[in-house]
Structures are given as C-alpha cells and as structure tokens.
C-alpha cells in the first residue's frame, strides 16, 4: 500500500531531495547521478521519489532554479556599485552573473550530451516556465538599473535573447573544461552592455 505524506512531510522530503540532488549532481555529474541513491539517502523508496519528481531531469531543473534564486540576489547587489560609466556598471552586473555560473560545481560537470538529454526529456512547458521566470527577473533587474542611473533602452525579452546563446555556450564550455569562449567573454559582454544602452546598433543582414 502506498504511504501518504502529510503536508509537512512533503515539504521536508522535497527539501531533502533538492539538497541531495545538488550534492549528487555536483559530485557525480548529471549522467552518473542515480535516482535510487538519492531516494535511499532521502529515506524514501524509489516509487516515492517519482511522486515528487517524474524524472531526474526535472529534479535537475529545480536544483538549478533554486541556485538561480540565490544567484539573482547576488546579482541585484551589484546594481548600486560605483563605476566610471553606465556601460562599465552594466558590464559589471552581467559579468557577475557569468562569474556566479562559472563557480557552480553542479555546472562544471555538465556536458553537451547532458544538455541534449535535458532538451529531449524536459517538457516544453517546463522550459517555457523557466524562460518566463528569467524574463521576470530581468524585468526587475532592468527597472532597478534604470532607477540606479543605468539607462538601459532594451526590454527584458530582448536582453534574454541576447544572453541565452552566450549563456548556453559558456556553460557547455565550462562543463567540458574549455576556455575558448571564456577568454572572449569580456568582449561579448562589453558589446551587449553597449547595445543595451543604445550606444551601438546590431544590424542583421
């Protein structure tokens, strides 16, 4: 007979699973992380695990989103820091975000194959929710930048579209131990900061 959990037990178990997910993904990587081991460490059956998460991929996404919430708080703190120009200040904010990504152990073991697996296994609706969450954060970020005297002229959707390809490439290269993109990251972020302030225009052929 399937055991039912109280609301408090569900909250406690979900937190344990998230904490263990972060630990295992950071130690073993996405592919080698095992649902059986997480369930055992959480004190629940494998069947009970799937009542909380239908797949390892969905757990990974929730772990990443939890880390993003903490990272966003750190990024917001950089808005009020001094800088020689608005571009320098916006660049520092963007660089802080990438520095935080690069420091996460969970992403250092993340490979192109892992990314492909996620794209196949995660429901499209989950990705849409993730992107919507990112845009909501950038709405908040851009409004705070403008209030702090950084005159960003683009909207959150455009900024997300500019940063997403760079974020994806950066994470995949970080996970593979590469440094080609990392070495050119500063120039890319400088250009994006200038564009977001209306200082340069990008022309599509």
> Could you read off the pLDDT of 96-139 as tens digits, one per residue?
998 888 888 888 777 778 878 888 888 889 888 988 998 999 99
Determine the Cα–Cα distance for residues 45 and 35; give it in Å rounded to an integer. Answer: 10
Q: What is the mean pLDDT of residues 26-42?
A: 94
Domains and CATH numbers, the chain: 1-53 (1.10.10.60), 55-196 (1.10.357)
pLDDT digits (tens, 9 = 90+) for 123-135: 889 888 988 998 9
- Residue 18's Cβ-side half-sphere holds a number of Cα atoms within 13 Å equal to 13
pLDDT digits (tens, 9 = 90+) for 41-71: 999 999 999 999 999 999 999 999 999 999 9
As given in the structure block, the two tokens for residue 32 are: 């080698």
Taking the CB of residue 187, how many other CB atoms lie within 10 A of it?
A: 9
Distances (CA, A) of 39 to 3, 8, 26, 31: 15, 18, 17, 16
Looking at per-residue confidence, does 46 or 168 come out higher?
46
Burial string for 88-119 (b: 16+ CB within 10 Å, else e) reads: ebbbbbbbbbbebbeebebbebbeeebeebbe
As given in the structure block, the two tokens for residue 85 are: 């120009």
Determine the Cα–Cα distance for residues 24 and 132; give it in Å rounded to an integer. Answer: 27
């Amino acid at each position: 007979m399937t055991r039912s959990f109280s609301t408090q037990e569900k909250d406690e178990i979900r937190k344990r699973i998230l904490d263990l997910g972060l630990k295992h993904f950071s130690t073993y990587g996405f592919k080698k992380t095992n649902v059986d081991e997480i369930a055992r460490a959480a004190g629940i059956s494998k069947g009970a695990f799937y009542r909380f998460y239908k797949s390892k991929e969905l757990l990974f996404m929730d772990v990443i989103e939890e880390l993003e919430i903490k990272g966003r708080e750190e990024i917001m703190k950089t808005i009020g820091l001094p800088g020689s120009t608005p571009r320098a200040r916006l660049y520092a904010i963007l660089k802080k975000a990438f520095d935080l990504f690069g420091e996460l152990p969970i992403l250092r073991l993340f490979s192109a194959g892992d990314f492909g697996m996620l794209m196949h296994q995660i429901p499209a609706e989950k990705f849409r929710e993730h992107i919507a969450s990112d845009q909501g954060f950038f709405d908040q970020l851009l409004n705070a930048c403008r209030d702090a005297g950084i005159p960003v002229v683009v909207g959150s959707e455009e900024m997300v579209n500019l940063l997403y390809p760079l974020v994806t490439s950066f994470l995949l290269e970080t996970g593979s131990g590469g440094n080609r993109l990392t070495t050119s990251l500063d120039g890319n972020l400088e250009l994006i900061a200038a564009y977001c302030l209306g200082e340069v225009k990008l022309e599509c052929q």
